[in-house]
Chain A
């Protein structure tokens, strides 16, 4: 069945270091992927997205890499700051739900803990 999972449930990094959060997906038909950031007690915030016709996309201090061969997605955060501490979710768009309905399948999340 479809699944989106994360390799590491918790990632601890030092302030100023780069962070890499990984995600594996199983549906090779998925063509759209999103990373969300969720702070404690709040709703997820959109960070960056990528379509399957790309293998890399950059935002402000963040980069998403997509490797369709091994169905792997990663989020890189440069110069990690204390404010980056949160749970990060990846999500894939499943095209097989109710026709053309946009259904996102979410991973369980990785907790990023930034140490000062």
Chain B
């Protein structure tokens, strides 16, 4: 998984519940990202972080929150405001957010609603 660890692999959410997905990287990368993957669709950017204590909204940030208190960690919280949370969530990192940087991905977390 290129030094990016996501956990858990499977997660179930009850209605009205917030859940947090973990992402840790040991690649010493400055930039980290969260993507959502739905069947038949391309990856969509939820949030990204260029550096510790900084993060920016992506294309579909509503109903999600993140933090970046450490360089290695970029957890994603799926809040109760996200009405359609069932998806495969992918965390990624790159050396920076400058152009032309390839992303390294974790193995993903499958979130389902009970």
Q: Do A and B bind each other?
A: yes
Partner of B101, one of A45, A102, A106: A102
With an 8 A cutoff between CB atoms, is A61 at the interface? no
B90 touches A31 (CB 8 A): no
With an 8 A cutoff between CB atoms, is B21 at the interface? no
With an 8 A cutoff between CB atoms, is B11 at the interface? no
Q: How far is the CB of B96 from chain A (nearest CB, A)?
A: 8
User: Which B positions have Cβ atoms within 8 angstroms of A?
Assistant: 1-2, 4, 6, 31, 40-43, 45, 48, 50, 56, 90, 92, 94, 96-108, 110
A43 touches B107 (CB 8 A): yes
Q: How far is the CB of A33 from chain B (nearest CB, A)?
A: 10
B107 touches A107 (CB 8 A): no
A100 touches B41 (CB 8 A): no
Chosen A-B contacts, 7 in total, with CB atoms closer than 8 Å, are A4-B42, A42-B107, A42-B108, A43-B92, A46-B102, A93-B100, A105-B42
Q: Which residue of B lies closest to A48 (CB)?
A: B102
A-B contact count (CB 8 A): 64
**Residues of chain A from 58 to 115 with CB closer than 8 A to chain B in the complex:** 89, 93, 95, 98, 100-109
B104 touches A46 (CB 8 A): yes
What is the number of residues of chain A that contact chain B, defined by CB distance less than 8 Å? 27
User: Which A positions have Cβ atoms within 8 angstroms of B?
Assistant: 4, 31-32, 34, 36, 41-46, 49, 51, 89, 93, 95, 98, 100-109
List 11 additional A-B contacts (Cβ < 8 Å) besides A4-B42, A36-B105, A43-B107: A32-B99, A32-B100, A49-B102, A100-B98, A101-B48, A102-B31, A103-B45, A106-B42, A107-B42, A108-B40, A108-B41
Chain B residues lying within 8 Å of A93, measured Cβ to Cβ, are 99-100
A43 touches B42 (CB 8 A): no
